[in-house]
Amino acid sequence: MTVTLGDGHSTPASSSVPVTSAPHPVSTTGTDGSADYMTISITNVYGSQLSLSFLSNAGAPAPVGNQSATVLPDNSPTQYAFPTGWAGRIYVGSNTDYRSSKIEGSLTGPPDIDVSYVDGYSIPITCSSKGTAVSSCNIDLFKQPGITCKNQVDGPVCLNPAQNIADGPVPPFFKACAGAAYTYPNDNTVQRKQPQE
């Protein structure tokens, strides 16, 4: 699983940039063919350093390796391995605000991953598996002509006014990503593809 942070318009990551964290699971599939781990590779092409923070669902096993909040330099990759039974989220932005853009994932059944702007938006995120987009919106919502965020906090993070409205509608600031990333809690219009193992 590959996650790209940013709209991809900055300089691509150099192959000489070291990976900042790279756990290596012993195996990626069990003897019955089920996934033991889902590895998420994250590359920052946003144009500045970004903070990553992690939250596993209650009772879920922890990711392999260091899951402490960390800073990912611009044009740098990292990767994390998530064990069978894991479900949770990775918050991404210029700070560790839990209302920022997030990657949500689960390995409680078939591997599942999506992009969520339900709580708020900080940066564009694209998720792909073997080169195929799974869930993504690479539009920088802060640069939309004529559309502004009505509730912006430090980061910047644009708070989503639909975060507690189960069935939407999509707020104007988030409309450009409708159908590509979650923009309200039950946004089942998101066109997602199952990650390829």
Token code pair at residue 149? 């965020």
Its pTM stands at: 0.82
Does the pLDDT of residue 13 top 70, yes or no?
Answer: no
What pLDDT, on a 0 to 100 scale, did the predictor assign at position 135? 82
pLDDT the model gives residue 109: 86
For 33, 81, 137, 172, 176, the CA distances from 150, given in Å and listed in that order, are: 48, 37, 20, 10, 16
